[in-house]
Amino acid sequence: MRLDGIHHISCITGDAPGNLEFYTGVLGLRLVAKTVNQDDPYVYHLFYADESGSPGADLTFFEYPGALQGRAGAGMVYRITFRVRSYDALGFWERRLADHAIATTRHEDRVRFDDPEGLGLELVAVQSPDAPLVAWHPEIPAEVALCGFDAVRAYGGRVASTGRLLEEVMGATSPTEYRWELTGSARHGTIAYDAPPTLPGRAGAGTVHHIAWATEPADHERWLERLHRGGVSSTPIIDRYYFRSIYFREPSGVLFELATKGPGFTVDLPLERLGRELVLPPMLASRRVEIEARLTPLRDPRADW
Ligand code: ZN
């Protein structure tokens, strides 16, 4: 039983229209699902990914309209790294982001920048054995497009205990100090920890809420058993409609989720219509009119393509 890299990463935005514009319009991801937070249905849950909505490329945002900007601190992920395929791609992104008034810094094989709400992002040029997970965008050639997640960096606190959980329960390897890799049948994903800043973290716009690792659907219940045998207290298995989830907090404080690789976003819409209409889980379907009236109107990013 192995965890198949990063499944999705969920973050917070205070500005859904600006968030949609940046991740689809500038970075070229596809909006693959526009739904609501199951635990708070007046809050959007937006899912961006590759063309097929694959685990491994799925960046999600909860919208709390007008939320104050947060700040990453101990126990929080502070940077998300996407793969690109070449140094040429890094050059493309340096130019494109500059054209959109986004400041970047170059570090050899990496380009770093922040999203409009301060969320740390990074592109790394790597030759990965993992399939490139690419979305189509008219201004972004496929050979330079984002290819899915490579890694996250977090601020630690109790990294020795976090490492034991990652290695002994979750099956991670540690190629270098404070860095762990989770490798399954299809993908590789890495989490690295740095010493936390002095200021405490504050959840808010531009911060990461949790990171999900991918499981084979058939293994999910055995993962729950393995966590409990390893002394980890977790939620039960929760049906998130697109996948099933188990949540637990690792010792440094980062909220982890184990999410099944299926059934995925085509459970309710055909592939070509993903993201083009508000989808509500069955338990909320009867409240559609009331819920839609309270959500921020969002344009369909592909309406005029
Ligand atoms: Zn999640």
- Its pTM stands at 0.97
Give the pLDDT band (50/70/90) at residue 222. Answer: very high
d(CA 115, CA 22): 8
Residue 304 has pLDDT above 90, yes or no: no
Q: What is the CA radius of gyration of the chain?
A: 18
Q: Residue 236 carries which side chain, given as an amino acid letter? A: P
What CATH number is attached to the domain comprising 268?
3.10.180.10
Give the pLDDT band (50/70/90) at residue 146. Answer: very high
Contact 214, 5 (CB under 8 A): yes
198 within a domain of the structure (yes/no) = yes
Number of domains present in the structure of the chain: 1
149 within a domain of the structure (yes/no) = yes
Ligand 1 centroid, distance to 106 Cα (angstroms): 30
Cβ atoms within 10 A of the Cβ of 292, count? 12
1 within a domain of the structure (yes/no) = no
Ligand 1 centroid, distance to 95 Cα (angstroms): 32
Ligand 1 centroid, distance to 45 Cα (angstroms): 10
Contact 44, 295 (CB under 8 A): yes
In what order do the strands lie in the sheet containing 110-114?
105-107, 110-114, 120-125, 77-84, 149-155, 188-194, 179-183, 173-176
Nearest Cα to Cα of residue 21 among 302, 237, 217: 302
Ligand 1 centroid, distance to 275 Cα (angstroms): 17
Ligand 1 centroid, distance to 259 Cα (angstroms): 7
Residue 128 has pLDDT above 90, yes or no: yes
The pLDDT, as a whole number, for residue 38 is 83
Q: What is the mean pLDDT of the chain?
A: 96
Ligand 1 centroid, distance to 211 Cα (angstroms): 7
d(CA 181, CA 5): 8
Ligand 1 centroid, distance to 240 Cα (angstroms): 8
Residue 193 has pLDDT above 90, yes or no: yes
pLDDT tens digit sequence for 259-274: 999 999 998 899 999 9
234 within a domain of the structure (yes/no) = yes
The pLDDT, as a whole number, for residue 54 is 97
Ligand 1 centroid, distance to 245 Cα (angstroms): 7
Give the residue-averaged pLDDT of 249-260: 98
299 within a domain of the structure (yes/no) = no
Q: Is the dihedral of CA 249, 250, 256, 259 positive or negative?
A: negative
Ligand 1 centroid, distance to 246 Cα (angstroms): 9
Query: The domain containing residue 239 runs over which residues?
Result: 6-293
Give the residue-averaged pLDDT of 27-50: 94
Give the lowest-confidence range in 120-129, 256-265, 277-286: 277-286
Ligand 1 centroid, distance to 19 Cα (angstroms): 18
Burial of 57 (0-12, 13-18, 19+ CB in 10 A): buried
304 within a domain of the structure (yes/no) = no
Span between the terminal Cα atoms of the chain, in Å: 42
250 backbone φψ class: left, alpha, beta (φ>0; ψ -120 to 50): beta
The pLDDT, as a whole number, for residue 268 is 83
pLDDT tens digit sequence for 239-248: 988 999 999 9
pLDDT tens digit sequence for 288-298: 999 999 998 99
Ligand 1 centroid, distance to 249 Cα (angstroms): 13
Ligand 1 centroid, distance to 77 Cα (angstroms): 14
pLDDT tens digit sequence for 147-168: 999 999 999 999 999 999 999 9
pLDDT tens digit sequence for 91-113: 999 999 999 999 999 999 999 99
Pairing relation of β-strands 6-13 and 58-63?
parallel
Q: Is the peptide bond before 263 cis (omega within 30 degrees of 0)?
A: yes
303 within a domain of the structure (yes/no) = no
Ligand 1 centroid, distance to 200 Cα (angstroms): 23
